[in-house]
Chain A
Amino acid sequence: QKEVEQDPGPLSVPEGAIVSLNCTYSNSAFQYFMWYRQYSRKGPELLMYTYSSGNKEDGRFTAQVDKSSKYISLFIRDSQPSDSATYLCAMMNSGNTPLVFGKGTRLSVIA
């Protein structure tokens, strides 16, 4: 079992839909949780990060972490065609450990 599991999709939604992206993990030592967005042939860019359990909101994006279930989510409200990209979850034990990424979920938002 990989440390971080993420459904690769692809996921296709109509413009304006609410998108839910999820990851599960097995390492209970993970404390920092991130979501990166990666456009085709580009490097990943950080969207959201959360420490430990809880929710964090930034504009149309909401990140949730449930450490008891080892489950994290990213919600995108009012999705736009420009949101079409691969979304990668990533996590780490502490600030001194490298990030462990999921496979990424490929999202297409159709106008």
Chain B
Amino acid sequence: DTGVSQDPRHKITKRGQNVTFRCDPISEHNRLYWYRQTLGQGPEFLTYFQNEAQLEKSRLLSDRFSAERPKGSFSTLEIQRTEQGDSAMYLCASSLGAGINTEAFFGQGTRLTVV
């Protein structure tokens, strides 16, 4: 499968626990994006990387959230001390460079439920 892969697909956690999600972008895609989507809403930008450098972070990305992309390949998104408001679909996308001619491909998402 050469698409964007996200793991796990579903995660149920208790409030206060830490969770980590993984995204494997399409090989050779140098840009990687994280979005969050809640029910009935469109995806909201969280952060993005160009290679291993984190270039932009949304104000939605509180101190409890951290993202990494070591070696410019896969990326992880960690949420510490989860809250019920963190329940959402977390989407990863990758693209080859930037601009209109470089389509961003989305993964299937990780659905997080905080109970």
Residues of A within 8 A of B (CB): 4, 6, 8, 32, 36, 41-46, 49, 51, 88, 90, 94-96, 98-104
Closest 4 CB pairs of A and B: A95-B99, A101-B42, A43-B106, A98-B45
Judging by beta carbons under 8 Å apart, are A99 and B104 in contact? yes
Judging by beta carbons under 8 Å apart, are A43 and B56 in contact? no
Cα of A94 to Cα of B98 in the assembled complex, Å: 9
Cα of A8 to Cα of B97 in the assembled complex, Å: 31
Judging by beta carbons under 8 Å apart, are B45 and A32 in contact? no
A95's contact among B45, B91, B93, B102, by CB below 8 Å, is which?
B102
Cα of A102 to Cα of B99 in the assembled complex, Å: 19
B interface SS class? loop
Ordered by A's residue number, 16 sampled pairs between the chains whose C-beta atoms are within 8 Å are: A4-B42, A36-B106, A41-B108, A43-B108, A44-B106, A46-B103, A46-B104, A51-B100, A88-B43, A90-B42, A96-B99, A98-B33, A98-B56, A100-B45, A101-B42, A104-B40
Judging by beta carbons under 8 Å apart, are B42 and A88 in contact? yes
Cα of A102 to Cα of B91 in the assembled complex, Å: 16
Cα of A11 to Cα of B67 in the assembled complex, Å: 37
Cα of A95 to Cα of B96 in the assembled complex, Å: 11
Question: Shortest distance in angstroms between B12's beta carbon and chain A's nearest beta carbon?
Answer: 15
B25 beta carbon closer than 8 Å to chain A? no
A43-B107, A43-B108, A43-B109 as given contacts; A95 in contact with B100, CB under 8 Å: yes
